Amino acid sequence: MLTNRIAKLFSGLLITTVTALPFAALAAVEALQPEDDHGGTAREIVGKLEMLHYNKLKVGDEMSGELWDAYIDALDPTRSYFLASDIAEFRQWHDRLDDQLRAGQVVAGFDIYNRYRLRLSDRLENTLSQLEKGLPQFDFTRDENLLLDREESTWPASISEADDLWRKRLKSSVLNLRLTGKTDEEIQDLLTRRYQGQLKRINQQSSDDVFELYMNSLTRLYDPHSNYLSPRSLENFNMSMSLSLEGIGAVLQMEDEYTKVARLVAGGPADRTGKVKPNDKIVAVGQDKEGEMVDVVGWRLDDVVDLIRGSAGTYVRLETIPAGGDGSHRTILIKRSKVKLEDQAAKKATFEFSDGKETFKIGVINLPTFYIDFEAYRRRDPNYKSTTRDVARLLDELKEEGVDGIILDLRNNGGGSLQEATMLTDLFIDQGPVVQIRHANEQISRHNRSRSRAMYRGPLMVLINRLSASASEIFAGAIQDYNRGLVVGNQSFGKGTVQTMAPLKEGQLKITQSKFYRVSGDSTQHAGVTPDIPMPQLIDAESVGESAYDTALPWDRIHAVPHAKYFNLKDLLPDLVSKHNQRTAADPDFVFLRDQFRLESERADRKFVSLNELTREQERENLNQQMLVMENRRRTAKGLEPYENFEAYEKSESEDTATIGGPVEIKLENDPILNEAGYIMADFIGLSEKITKTPPQVANF
């Protein structure tokens, strides 16, 4: 599972630290001290968390220990900087941090941070001195391994043990770059500049950075979506929420020393390339089409964002390590632009599918987000754009085209306006509740209701995946609870909480105050929405989704509310699932998707990585061969010419890497999930005579 550090959207990257006392060079690292306003802000944060947060937790002795663990983990998640003696020394504060915070004291947080800052400075100085000796010092014929996940490891017991750990880390970095085709001279230069840059940024750390990290270690004990924003982070947050923000349309976060893609903004420049994916790691950024690539490993998150952000119409290049790959790098050219509302607007298309007896015309509506043009709405512009207005128009057009059923595609839809999710549901059901909201004071609101007669009453399917979140889950959950249509795809994200901004004297506190519940009484939090018919898993649910966060609020349920049951869909599911399984068991695309996910899962489960160059090259060759066999098996089964070798396959995959893209179109080509959803819908319509066609009945509870 991901740890809390995955949620460090606004924290500095792991370039702060601590000192090996025997080295005189460490004295140059000046200790950071709390500012005068930090104590008062800490008391404010504690007070607001205890008073306003949905999770009723008190900052006491138990939480003090949890904060101690979380803060040390935030600083040193790989247990590579602190020594065991440091940890033993820090235990004096294990049960006292709560008392200090209530008294407005944050000295312990700064003392731990300063030790970490010194240790990291020591490590970087030592690593740079090793690089000065040249790369031939490394024996890549030696059979040794590097542990990939050190979360459960012990801290080094001595400087010599830490030296050996960092020797392996440096050796691994060199080997990784060798396998990308870089020369030893290029590698030495790149790594020297990387570590020099990190060392420089250590000295640029401010007291506000330390305080923010310490406070966020506290807020995320309540839940992963609550966090403290310093004045600087608040400015970046407001900029990211502004309609005038220009960039690539991606939400980034820190994981260890890497900047990682958390999610893409639907319809944004990065999304339109089709080459940037969640969990990709960004290792370098270049300006324009040919500018120098700047290595950003170990950078602060906001510094990386500043490098990527730019004026609309300009270009940026990202060098990434694709998630689930073999560690090779990919360079992607993106044209910066403002994410326009029309790029995120609902779109439609029609396709024909057969159930083996009859051909049906199926309408597909793709909805990337739940949007509304608030500015035009406030101006009372009668033509303001919104999700519901656009989908209503598309429904009218599809009905005129004589469609037999409709698929609403909410894959990768991360949410948006709750009001729009409610109003969209109103297009498909008659009057009734859509979602329940329980607040921190335990009051339950049921004001979000469908208030009109349904606009569309025909066969309906909602397509979701692991990145369908929040408002998407509210809509899909309501359709499922009302038995109004089928929900197909993968378990959704599980984001079932609501945050609000609470002002502080310095900065602001984003705090979770409410929780969503379906009309059935089930929470969408943590568990998300489970599809009626599952599709092959494309995203690892253990690393992406609410359940991946250590401190995510749990799933629970409250009382259901009376709501209609439209059709007896459960009677149809056995036949639909049977037909789906028969169709996809040997389908080339589905066989490929299942094999691809299995292969990626096996690689993700690795405990160690070899530091033997021949072993790594053989592993890479084996992986490439497996990928080629999988792809050629798919192509042969579909009557396509197989690739002669992996190089030809790789070239075909990267030919359009620099594509700038345009408006997202709905296509069945290269989308086997949507294609199969169409066949399920055809089966659904063909079996519709079995559906109970009585007026909606209120369920009994």
Residue 18 has a pLDDT of: 32
Domain range list for the chain:
4-225, 242-338, 343-586+674-698, 588-661
The answer to whether the beta carbons of residues 384 and 420 sit under 8 Å apart is no
Residue 682 has a pLDDT of: 96
Cα angle 177, 182, 183 (rounded to 5 degrees) comes to 115
CA–CA separation, 677 vs 679, rounded Å? Answer: 5
Picking from 582, 585, 573, the residue whose alpha carbon sits closest to that of residue 687 is 573
Residue 403 one-letter amino acid: V
Q: Residues of 507-526 as b/e, b for ≥16 C-beta within 10 angstroms?
A: bbbbbbbbbbbbbbebbbbb
Residue 250 has a pLDDT of: 82
Residue 17 has a pLDDT of: 30
The answer to whether the beta carbons of residues 11 and 74 sit under 8 Å apart is yes
Q: For residue range 633-678, what is the model confidence (pLDDT) as tens digits?
A: 999 999 999 999 988 888 776 554 444 444 567 889 889 999 999 9
Residue 50 has a pLDDT of: 95
Q: Which tokens sit at 158?
A: 């001595």
β-strand partners of 366: 347, 409
CA–CA separation, 180 vs 24, rounded Å? Answer: 37
Residue 636 has a pLDDT of: 95
Residue 654 has a pLDDT of: 59
How far from chain centre, in Å, is Cα 31?
35
Lowest mean pLDDT among 226-230, 250-254, 308-312, 672-676: 250-254
Q: Which tokens sit at 199?
A: 């060392």
Q: For residue range 196-230, what is the model confidence (pLDDT) as tens digits?
A: 988 888 888 899 999 999 999 999 999 999 999 88
Mean pLDDT of the chain: 87
Q: For residue range 436-483, what is the model confidence (pLDDT) as tens digits?
A: 999 999 999 998 999 899 999 999 999 999 999 999 999 999 999 999
Picking from 316, 333, 344, 338, the residue whose alpha carbon sits closest to that of residue 239 is 338
Q: Which tokens sit at 91?
A: 């235990």
- In which band, very low, low, confident or very high, does the pLDDT at 1 lie, cut at 50, 70 and 90? very low
β-strand partners of 334: 316
Q: For residue range 266-297, what is the model confidence (pLDDT) as tens digits?
A: 778 888 787 888 888 999 999 998 888 988 98
Region of residue 266 (phi > 0: left; psi between -120 and 50: alpha; otherwise: beta): beta
CA–CA separation, 361 vs 406, rounded Å? Answer: 9
Lowest mean pLDDT among 41-55, 315-329, 416-430: 315-329
The bridge status of strand 359-366 relative to strand 436-439 is unpaired
Q: Domain 242-338 is of which CATH architecture?
A: Roll (2.30)
Picking from 96, 42, 90, the residue whose alpha carbon sits closest to that of residue 64 is 96
Residue 183 has a pLDDT of: 92
End-to-end CA distance of the chain: give it in Å, rounded. Answer: 37
Residue 149 has a pLDDT of: 87
- In which band, very low, low, confident or very high, does the pLDDT at 127 lie, cut at 50, 70 and 90? very high
Report pTM.
Answer: 0.86
Instruction: Tell me the three state secondary structure of residue 692.
Output: coil
State the burial class of residue 173 (Cβ atoms within 10 Å of its Cβ: 0-12, 13-18, 19+): middle
Instruction: Tell me the three state secondary structure of residue 206.
Output: coil
Lowest mean pLDDT among 25-34, 69-78, 334-343: 25-34
Instruction: Report how far apart, in Å, the C-alpha atoms of 559 and of each of 18, 77, 436 are.
Output: 52, 40, 10
Region 289-311 average pLDDT: 85
The helix (H) or strand (E) run that includes residue 510 is: strand 508-517
CA–CA separation, 468 vs 248, rounded Å? Answer: 20
Residue 6 has pLDDT above 60, yes or no: no
Residue 259 one-letter amino acid: T
Q: What is the 3-state secondary structure (H, E, C) of 226-278?
A: CEEECHHHHHHHHHHHCCCCEECCEEEEEECCEEEEEEECCCCHHHHHCCCCC
Q: For residue range 667-691, what is the model confidence (pLDDT) as tens digits?
A: 898 899 999 999 999 999 999 876 5
CA–CA separation, 698 vs 562, rounded Å? Answer: 6
The answer to whether the beta carbons of residues 687 and 572 sit under 8 Å apart is yes
Angle, helices 672-686/573-584, rounded to nearest 10 degrees:
140
The bridge status of strand 293-295 relative to strand 315-321 is unpaired
Residue 428 has pLDDT above 80, yes or no: yes
The answer to whether the beta carbons of residues 70 and 59 sit under 8 Å apart is no
CA–CA separation, 364 vs 667, rounded Å? Answer: 10
Q: Give the residue carrying structure tokens 């941070």.
A: 113
Cα dihedral value 189, 191, 195, 197, nearest 10: 60
Cα angle 233, 301, 312 (rounded to 5 degrees) comes to 85
Higher pLDDT, 261 or 557: 557
- In which band, very low, low, confident or very high, does the pLDDT at 236 lie, cut at 50, 70 and 90? low
- In which band, very low, low, confident or very high, does the pLDDT at 317 lie, cut at 50, 70 and 90? very high
Sign of CA dihedral 221, 222, 226, 228: negative
Lowest mean pLDDT among 88-97, 111-120, 281-290: 281-290
Q: For residue range 326-378, what is the model confidence (pLDDT) as tens digits?
A: 667 888 999 888 766 666 789 999 999 999 899 999 999 999 889 887 777 78
Region 117-130 average pLDDT: 93
Cα angle 326, 328, 331 (rounded to 5 degrees) comes to 140
Q: Residues of 651-672 as b/e, b for ≥16 C-beta within 10 angstroms?
A: eeeeeeebeebeebebebeeeb
β-strand partners of 331: 319
Residue 591 has a pLDDT of: 95
CA–CA separation, 677 vs 680, rounded Å? Answer: 5
CA–CA separation, 159 vs 165, rounded Å? Answer: 10
- Highest-scoring range by mean pLDDT, 22-31, 152-161, 340-349, 654-663: 152-161
Helix, strand, coil fractions of the chain, as percent rounded to 5: 40, 15, 40
* Topology classification of domain 343-586+674-698: 2-enoyl-CoA Hydratase; Chain A, domain 1 (3.90.226)
Q: Which tokens sit at 471?
A: 């408002």
Lowest mean pLDDT among 131-135, 237-241, 365-369: 237-241
State the burial class of residue 678 (Cβ atoms within 10 Å of its Cβ: 0-12, 13-18, 19+): buried
Q: Which residues touch 86 (CB under 8 Å, ≥6 apart)? A: 18, 115, 119, 155
Residue 407 has a pLDDT of: 98
155 secondary structure, DSSP code = P
Sign of CA dihedral 221, 222, 224, 228: negative
The answer to whether the beta carbons of residues 4 and 220 sit under 8 Å apart is yes
Residue 9 has pLDDT above 50, yes or no: no
Give the rounded percent of residues in the chain with a pLDDT score beyond 70.
89
Lowest mean pLDDT among 26-40, 140-154, 172-186, 399-413: 26-40
Residue 670 one-letter amino acid: N
Residue 106 has a pLDDT of: 96
Helices (H), 449-551: 471-481
Picking from 183, 181, 173, the residue whose alpha carbon sits closest to that of residue 617 is 181
Residue 88 has pLDDT above 90, yes or no: yes
Q: Give the residue carrying structure tokens 């502004």.
A: 242
- In which band, very low, low, confident or very high, does the pLDDT at 102 lie, cut at 50, 70 and 90? very high
Q: Give the residue carrying structure tokens 């802000």.
A: 41
The answer to whether the beta carbons of residues 485 and 428 sit under 8 Å apart is yes
Residues in the chain: 701
Region of residue 298 (phi > 0: left; psi between -120 and 50: alpha; otherwise: beta): left
Region 161-178 average pLDDT: 93
Active site residues: 470, 481, 495
351 secondary structure, DSSP code = E
Q: What is the DSSP string of 68-111?
A: HHHHHHHH-TTS-SS-HHHHHHHGGGTTTHHHHHHTT--HHHHH
